[in-house]
A and B are shown apart, each in its own frame.
Chain A
Amino acid sequence: MDGQLKRGLLDVCVLAAIKNEDSYGYKIIKDMKPYVVLSESTLYTILKRLELANMLTVRTAEHDGRLRKYYRITQAGICRLEAFREEWREVMAIYQFVTREDEKND
């Protein structure tokens, strides 16, 4: 897959993973695993990028006697997810057109 496209997709995947409740690194990776396999270093880069873009906030909390970082989606992050669904409605329409036209020739 095109690198730029994949990067954008992974960004929204991570946003979706923290949308309903705050989450932490390993849980995000586990939740995404059935759909896309993500390494720790890739996730780190994505989280940093989303934090810089103000799409999520980070807080450190104690868990079981150690520290863990939790990520929470912001309003801007929620808007990004909505925009993504809107964009992909168009992409899916194009996909259906391409598939239909392509199959006509077979």
Chain B
Amino acid sequence: MTKREFIHALRAKLAGLPPKEAWERLDFYTEAIEDRIEEGCSEEEAVAELGSVDEIAAQILADIPLSALVKEKVKPRRRLRAWEIVLLAVGSPIWASLLIAAFAVLISLYAVLWSVIVAIWAVDVSLGACFLGGIAAGVLFFVVGNSVSGLLMIGVGLVSAGLSIFLFFGCLEATKGTLWLTGKIVLGIKRCFVRKEKEDE
């Protein structure tokens, strides 16, 4: 591979980067190749020493923060024409409300997920309250002399305590699972942007 071919291939791979960033990188690699040639390497050897274009491009992409990629992606390639702005404004009652509705549906699905978690924690806490209440009521029954009811209350309290402890671990796992799922969703959203960048190449 010659220097020209290498730089050309790398430039194509870096198409999704902000232009200034891409130019600086390309200059850096050009200099690296030229310095090796000056040292006595052949052009082919100099290029080969740098490694494969794919690996270099992958490392550069990993270096660039996602925000810079997204910014570059959403930047319009040209200025919008007057009639396009008018159309966007006139159509906004339709597309804006559809967009907001779509977001609302997604957010409410996510909220439903968390409300299940909140509900099971609430059940767990109320079982804990049952335990305290049962013990208190049982002691009270003993004090007034009704030992059968007292035993029953304490029994109910202890069963609640057992269920509460049992459910606690379930709740913990469910919460952890939902947090994990949240992480996956965020990662998925990030990947959407990066994948789009790569398709542009």
Contacts and interface: CB of A to CB of B under 8 A. Distances in A.
Chains A and B belong together in one complex:
yes
Interface of A: 24-27, 39-42, 44-45, 64, 66-69
A99 B27 CA distance: 47
A42 B56 CA distance: 10
Contacts of A39: 50-51, 59
Contacts of B59: 39, 41-42
A23 B151 CA distance: 86
A64 B34 CA distance: 10
Interface size on B, as a range, is 10 to 19
B112 to A, nearest CB: 39
B32 A26 contact: yes
Interface string B57-101: 001100100000000000000000000000000000000000000
A24 B32 CA distance: 9
A93 B27 CA distance: 44
Interface of B: 25, 27-29, 31-32, 34-36, 38-39, 50-51, 56, 59-60, 63
7 contacts: A25-B28, A26-B35, A40-B28, A40-B51, A41-B56, A44-B25, A69-B27
Contacts of B56: 40-41
B32 A40 contact: yes
Given A26-B36, A40-B50, A68 B63 contact: no
SS class, residues of chain B in contact with chain A: helix
The 9 A-B pairs of least Cβ separation, nearest first, read A26-B35, A41-B59, A40-B32, A44-B28, A41-B56, A45-B63, A40-B50, A26-B32, A68-B31
B32 to A, nearest CB: 5
Given A26-B32, A40-B50, A44-B28, 19 more contacts: A24-B31, A24-B35, A25-B31, A25-B32, A25-B35, A26-B36, A39-B50, A40-B28, A40-B32, A40-B51, A40-B56, A41-B63, A42-B59, A44-B25, A66-B31, A66-B34, A69-B27, A69-B28, A69-B31
B35 to A, nearest CB: 4
A26 B28 CA distance: 10
Nearest to A60: B27
A25 B27 CA distance: 11
Contacts of B38: 64
Contacts of A40: 28-29, 32, 50-51, 56
Nearest to B32: A40
A96 B155 CA distance: 62
A27 B29 CA distance: 14
B31 A26 contact: yes
A100 to B, nearest CB: 41
B6 to A, nearest CB: 12
A85 B183 CA distance: 40
A41 B31 contact: no
B69 to A, nearest CB: 16
